[in-house]
A and B are shown apart, each in its own frame.
Chain A
Amino acid sequence: MLILECPCCGVMADETELAPGGEAHLTRVGPEGSDADFESYLFDRKNPKGVHFERWRHAAGCGKWFHAARSTVTLEVFGTYPAQVTEPPKALLATIAKKVPGWEGWQ
């Protein structure tokens, strides 16, 4: 069972209280982008084996969106952080780099 700490209300929220929001930190491509970029924005996902940054919503709780970093292999949760950022916090990246040798970084 996946348990994430909601950074908005501080509850240790069980997976069944949360709604998944897919991969985090996507750059939106609008009408000004090329067709290929737009298609990539809509459909191309990293789908990594290992560290993954995700969006989640505390749907049955405070209702707010937040970010989470976890491993898709071990289900280890590295941390959660607020939704109002465009990239993961440096401290969290450092923690993950220490825990996962050979990790290529979030981009």
Chain B
Amino acid sequence: MSEAVSALEGATFEGFCTLRDAGPVGMVTIRGDLGAKGFAKAVKDATGCGLPHPRGIVTAGGRRLAWMSPDELLLICEHGEAPALAAGLAEALKGQHALALDVSDARAMLRLEGAGCREVIAKLSPANLAPGAFGPGEMRRTRLAQVAGAFYMPDETSFEIFVFRSVARYAFDLIANAARPGSEVGLFAPAP
């Protein structure tokens, strides 16, 4: 078995925020009728996570389950457990018009940490990132400059950002540039 490596192999950047490649992360896409009878229970039994609200993300036992669209969820887990979870979900959802697939290697996850992290992402995305409009517990699929991306805030001072693996380098350079020292805007919080 070949050894899994993340797209940027642990690249880091130190600006007014710290950006790093989050390493291999397990991701399982679940599609189906989220309101169907037995769907929520099947997902809960297989993953330990309850269904998130629209645009929400729930955390349980080291895994996260995010609402991606009215018929799609994304499970974020350890890289090694993704194939087994996908298989378990497929088994649990048997009989339903649903699908669970391990997509860990299709995407890259970047982690951005620092007090000014909202600002960095706000430079690149049309999403409203003002405190109160967006915060922990919410998953936002949007655009980062020229590529599609999604992000959520594990806490007030960090973001975890998902992009397609093929554009990981572009996204990394883009965010690193937006986090360059001296480029603080101070829109959401006074510049340090």
Q: Residues of A with Cβ closer than 8 Å to B? A: 8-14, 16-17, 59-64
Task: Please tell me if the beta carbons of A61 and B128 are within 8 angstroms of each other in the complex.
Answer: no
B38 at the interface (CB under 8 A from A): no
Which one of A8, A13, A60, A64 has the highest number of Cβ atoms from chain B below 10 Å of its Cβ? A60
Closest to A62 in B: B69
Chain B residues in 8 Å Cβ range of A12: 128
Q: Given A14-B126, A16-B126, A17-B126, check contact A9 B143 (CB 8 Å).
A: no
B70 touches which of A9, A11, A17 (Cβ 8 Å): A9
Task: Please tell me if the beta carbons of A9 and B142 are within 8 angstroms of each other in the complex.
Answer: no
B68 at the interface (CB under 8 A from A): yes
A59 smallest CB distance to B (angstroms):
8
A9 to B55, CA, bound (A): 7
Chain A residues in 8 Å Cβ range of B107: none
Number of B residues, CB within 8 Å of A? 14
A59 to B126, CA, bound (A): 13
Q: Given A10-B54, A12-B128, check contact A17 B142 (CB 8 Å).
A: yes
A4 to B69, CA, bound (A): 17
A19 smallest CB distance to B (angstroms):
11
Specify the main secondary structure of chain B where it touches its partner: strand
B111 at the interface (CB under 8 A from A): no
Q: Given A9-B54, A10-B55, A16-B126, check contact A60 B148 (CB 8 Å).
A: yes
Chain B residues in 8 Å Cβ range of A62: 68-70, 72, 141
A17 to B128, CA, bound (A): 13
Task: Please tell me if the beta carbons of A17 and B69 are within 8 angstroms of each other in the complex.
Answer: no
One digit per residue, 1 when the CB lies within 8 angstroms of any chain A CB and 0 when it does not, for chain B 132-161 equals: 000000001111000010000000000000
Task: Please tell me if the beta carbons of A11 and B69 are within 8 angstroms of each other in the complex.
Answer: no
Chain A residues in 8 Å Cβ range of B140: 11
A62 to B126, CA, bound (A): 15
Chain B residues in 8 Å Cβ range of A64: 69-70
| 7 more CB-based (< 8 A) A-B contacts, given A16-B143, A61-B141, A62-B69 | A9-B55, A11-B142, A13-B126, A17-B143, A60-B143, A60-B148, A63-B69
What 5 A-B pairs are tightest by C-beta distance, nearest first?
Answer: A14-B126, A62-B69, A60-B143, A61-B141, A60-B148
B55 touches which of A11, A16, A17, A60 (Cβ 8 Å): A11
Chain A residues in 8 Å Cβ range of B55: 9-11
Chain B residues in 8 Å Cβ range of A63: 69
Chain A residues in 8 Å Cβ range of B141: 9, 60-62
A41 smallest CB distance to B (angstroms):
29
